[in-house]
Amino acid sequence: MNLIDISWPISENITEYKNKKSIKIIQTSKYKKDGVREKLITFNSHTGTHIDAPSHFTENGKTLDQLTLNKFYGLCKIFDLTNVKEKITSKNLENLDIQKNDIVILKTTNSNLQEEGDFVSDYVYLEKSGAKYLADKKIKTFGFDYLGIESNQPNHETHKYLLENEIPIIEGLRLKNVKQGKYILSCFPIYINNADGAPARAILIEK
Amino acid sequence: MNLIDISWPISENITEYKNKKSIKIIQTSKYKKDGVREKLITFNSHTGTHIDAPSHFTENGKTLDQLTLNKFYGLCKIFDLTNVKEKITSKNLENLDIQKNDIVILKTTNSNLQEEGDFVSDYVYLEKSGAKYLADKKIKTFGFDYLGIESNQPNHETHKYLLENEIPIIEGLRLKNVKQGKYILSCFPIYINNADGAPARAILIEK
């Protein structure tokens, strides 16, 4: 069994969506002084590798704790779309083997962007026709390799096509060293009550 | 496949180790006003279901990101010790099927304690002879069903026997509804650089 980490490491220096600067990490206990190490950690619910719940962008959508756990574990398909520039439309998806209940992860050139420093606003994004295509296919969960998936499309339609169909969105995956193929994904968000989003550790399991 | 959540839900009301009161959850964006929901979350690195790294209690111990990922995934054995009062010693463990590289989880009456409200200081704990027994067996990872494992033993020997042998400790499991037996455990901590500890979602996978 081989475990592959596809998570975005959290530190005070990491890139945040639109440079929010939400993260603070304070060493509250130090070994030499206290004989123990502890930190106090602050972040936005949509930091690093994290999952968007339907409630993030829909009025009556479910929170993460209301979704079935199998949204976050199981067979996933990673598709290499590093040839795509600017945006992913339905045309870029229609020849791929995407089936009902798949966890679909798209690898783009975003995986080459740095993990620290300023937010890159012209990342490759999922255009609304691509999101509609995935929602119509009734996939289980969608994963992507930047801190947003939408770019600046009006009215957040890309998010809404997915979230209104109870397809949670894993943002902030790191796929530079991962090949297209089938894997088992484990990507459970930490358990925060009523979460509109929460960090998750994303791991691929190869058997 | 059946997924069983054995995680402690995080909210502002949950019990914290020795009533630290570290947790703040602020709704920074609201749907009616902003068209989106987001939260700002603050907690101690040892909150809810979380994993202690060797660096938590040992001077030169590894941080979570320095441990191999398979510490957090694989075959685990849950042993029912709900008959034990006060403390678990080596005598309570020596007749159990504990082998090298097992993920060992002990279920005690702690699983009946409330998840909210004051910290209970007289929880059932792992006495240092029990920790030494598990370390000598070279188990892979240890899991327990309260927010500490040590009680007030001098010099934190229970933690040190485990952590000095690179056996990470999963604290804050909830096992009330889980039977003794073998499972696959997925319990990856969120990826925080140099973490002495971090929250994790603990899920049992039954096949």
- Tokens standing for residue A157: 């339609």
**Interchain CB contact of B65 with A (< 8 Å):** yes
- Given this model, what pLDDT does residue B84 score? 98
**Interchain CB contact of A141 with B (< 8 Å):** no
Angle at B70 between CA A13 and CA B44, to 5 degrees: 45
The DSSP secondary structure of B95-153, one letter per residue, reads TS---TT-EEEEE-GGGGS-SBSS--TT--EE-HHHHHHHHHTT-SEEEESSS-S-TT-
Q: How far apart are CA A94 and CA A188, in angstroms?
A: 28
- Does domain A2-10+45-206 sit in CATH 1.10.150.120? no
**Interchain CB contact of B23 with A (< 8 Å):** no
Contacts with A, B 150-179, CB within 8 Å? 156
pLDDT tens-digit map of B183-198: 999 999 999 999 999 9
A77 CB-near residues (< 8 Å, 6+ apart): A97, A98, A102, A103, A104, A105, A181, A182
DSSP H helical ranges for chain A: 31-34, 90-93, 128-136, 157-163
Nearest to A45 among B22, B41, B49 (CB): B41
**Interchain CB contact of B39 with A (< 8 Å):** yes
What does residue B101 show for φ and ψ, rounded to 5 degrees? 75, 5
State the residue for tokens 């190490």: A37
Q: How far apart are CA B118 and CA A83, in angstroms?
A: 55
Q: What average pLDDT does this structure show over A106-134?
A: 98
Per-residue buried b or exposed e for B75-101, using 16+ beta carbons within 10 Å of the residue's own CB: ebbbbbbbebeebbbeebbeebebeee
Nearest to A9 among B42, B59, B191 (CB): B191
Q: How far apart are CA B158 and CA B165, in angstroms?
A: 12
> Chain B: residue nearest A28 by CA?
B44
State the residue for tokens 């980490």: A5
Q: What average pLDDT does this structure show over A77-106?
A: 98
Count Cβ atoms within 10 A of the Cβ of residue A76 and give its class: 0-12 exposed, 13-18 middle, 19 or more buried.
Answer: buried
Residue B206, min C-alpha distance to chain A (Å): 12
ipTM of the complex, rounded to two decimals: 0.97
Domains of chain B by residue range = 2-9+45-206
Please give the model's pTM, rounded to 2 decimal places. Answer: 0.97
- Domain B2-9+45-206: give its CATH code: 3.50.30.50
Using a CB-CB distance cutoff of 8 angstroms, which residues of chain A are in contact with residue B205?
73
Instruction: Report chain B's mean pLDDT, rounded to a whole number.
Output: 97
In this structure, are residues B15 and B23 in contact, taking their beta carbons and an 8 Å threshold? no
Q: How far apart are CA B189 and CA A72, in angstroms?
A: 15
- Given this model, what pLDDT does residue A207 score? 83
The DSSP secondary structure of A102-160, one letter per residue, reads -EEEEE-GGGGS-SBSS--TT--EE-HHHHHHHHHTT-SEEEESSS-S-TT-GGGHHHH
pLDDT tens-digit map of B15-49: 999 999 999 999 999 999 999 999 999 999 999 99
Q: B143 pLDDT band (50/70/90 cuts)?
A: very high
Residue A98, min C-alpha distance to chain B (Å): 22
* 3-state secondary structure at position B46: coil
Q: What average pLDDT does this structure show over A91-116?
A: 98
Please tell me what DSSP assigns to residue A162.
Answer: H
**Interchain CB contact of A46 with B (< 8 Å):** yes
Using a CB-CB distance cutoff of 8 angstroms, which residues of chain B are in contact with residue A71?
none
B41 contacts A69? CB cut-off 8 A:
no
